Amino acid sequence: MLLGTVHGPTQLDLHGWKATLLVERAVTGRAAPGSSLEIAWEELATSRPPRLAEGERVLVALAPLPSGSLWMQRFPMRNALALGAGGQAFLRSPAPATVDLVARYLALLPPAREQSEGVALLAALVQDGAPVMALEALERLSEVPGLGERLSPEAAGALGAVLVDPGRPAGDRARLARLVGERRLLALRPSLERATRPGSGIEAAAWDALADLDGGLPPETVRALLERPDPGLRRVAIEHAGRAIPETRVASLLRNDPAPEVRRAAVKALLGLSGEAALETVAPALFDPDPAVRTEAARGLGALGSQAVPTLRSLVEGREARDATGPIAALGLAGPDGQAALRDIAENHPDPAVRRLAEIALGHLTGD
């Protein structure tokens, strides 16, 4: 990995580009400061400006040139290096702190990167690094075994500061909240609680993570979240309610809530709580206007197996193909009895379009 300045970007052919990198610092490797080397990449979207511009200061990860005749034509002497990750491994105008943190992290031996020192550097990158580096550092943290035990107070403080910072991208903070819940990072619980406050920007993700830490949410919290106008919070309430919400209320939300994510959560909750007993309640969701809700209903009802087949079979009768896709999809997931029902539909349904859908579900035809 090198820090340097781009000079002379030149188009080689329709997609191929090259430039000279004047090396300022070798973060890894042996390139000497002041030396130069040829770098290459491809621009598949020809209507956009090239990714590296004259005079641009970049941190780049380089790799050997790809094999293949086209690259041999571009560089017969193989005297260049390619931008890594398919041309994506570069960072424009990196801050000195980011470069230093990356250098310190990469200087560690691989086993040490999963110990407290490496975890602390990753946490610092999450807090102080450029957005793309912060997100990559989060992904690396998610792979560290025993992360909670290797999280120093300083590292926990850095991550907690990001979690409650409304100036940071909400998507990155929500990903961090998920990491806290999934890996049970108890040291970040106070920050997670702060992130559940109204206006935090990641309330739903923070409540999800808090539920993961605590093994659920208190019934009074569930009931309060269910009354909030934010559909993400209503979804959280349903997913973590257990028996705290009457099934009749969940069924009403499935029928009437305007938010697809809430209706989808209601499908999962009803089937999870009552199984076959929720069949008649959930079946109308196969005709929901939102495809994600229909898919959830098809998966859940299909998982009931032979018990659901008579109801699903009846829902196909008298319907046009556009309305029969949900029940047919569910039958395709309902085991041998579902397959038998599909064969009957494929042979005997009066609508040829529905017969074709059944054939597709059986894998006999291709189609949308």
pLDDT mean values, one per 10 residues, the chain (368 residues): 96 95 93 95 91 96 93 94 93 92 94 96 90 90 96 96 94 96 96 96 97 94 96 97 93 97 98 94 97 97 96 92 93 96 94 93 72
* CATH code for position 51: 2.40.50.120
Instruction: Identify whether residues 14 and 55 lie together within a single domain.
Output: yes
HEC secondary structure over the chain: CEEEEEEEEEECCCCEEEEEEEEEEECCCCCCCCCEEEEEEECCCCCCCCCCCCCCEEEECEEECCCCHHHHHHCCCCCCEEEHHHHCCEEECCCHHHHHHHHHHHHCCHHHHHCHHHHHHHHHHHHHCCHHHHHHHHHHHHCCCCHHHHCCHHHHHHHHHHHCCCCCCHHHHHHHHHHHHHCCCHHHHHHHHHHCCCCCCCHHHHHHHHHHHHCCCCHHHHHHHHCCCCHHHHHHHHHCCCCCCCHHHHHHHHHHCCCHHHHHHHHHHHHHHHHHHHHHHHHHHHHCCCHHHHHHHHHHHHCCHHHHHHHHHHHHCCCCHHHHHHHHHHHHCCHHHHHHHHHHHHHHCCCHHHHHHHHHHCCCCCCC
Backbone dihedral region of 211: left (phi > 0), alpha (psi from -120 to 50 degrees) or beta? alpha
pTM of the model: 0.83
Instruction: Identify whether residues 46 and 116 lie together within a single domain.
Output: no
Instruction: Identify whether residues 116 and 205 lie together within a single domain.
Output: yes
- State the pLDDT at residue 328: 96
* d(C-alpha 143, C-alpha 179), whole Å: 10
Instruction: Identify whether residues 36 and 56 lie together within a single domain.
Output: yes
Instruction: Identify whether residues 200 and 261 lie together within a single domain.
Output: no
- State the pLDDT at residue 365: 64
Instruction: Identify whether residues 186 and 254 lie together within a single domain.
Output: no
Instruction: Identify whether residues 202 and 100 lie together within a single domain.
Output: yes
Segments forming the whole domain that contains residue 242: 216-303
- State the pLDDT at residue 30: 87
- State the pLDDT at residue 237: 97
Instruction: Identify whether residues 227 and 277 lie together within a single domain.
Output: yes
Instruction: Identify whether residues 127 and 63 lie together within a single domain.
Output: no
Instruction: Write the single-letter amino acid at 360.
Output: I
Instruction: Identify whether residues 222 and 195 lie together within a single domain.
Output: no
Number of domains comprising the chain: 4
**Which residue among 303, 319, 338 closes a domain?**
303
Whether 335 and 306 have beta carbons less than 8 Å apart is answered as yes
Whether 177 and 208 have beta carbons less than 8 Å apart is answered as yes
- State the pLDDT at residue 130: 78
**Which residue among 284, 303, 322 closes a domain?**
303
- State the pLDDT at residue 332: 95
Token code pair at residue 329: 């999809």
Instruction: Identify whether residues 260 and 368 lie together within a single domain.
Output: no
Nearest to 348 by CA among 303, 306, 302, 316: 316
Instruction: Identify whether residues 341 and 235 lie together within a single domain.
Output: no
**Which residue among 94, 129, 163 closes a domain?**
94
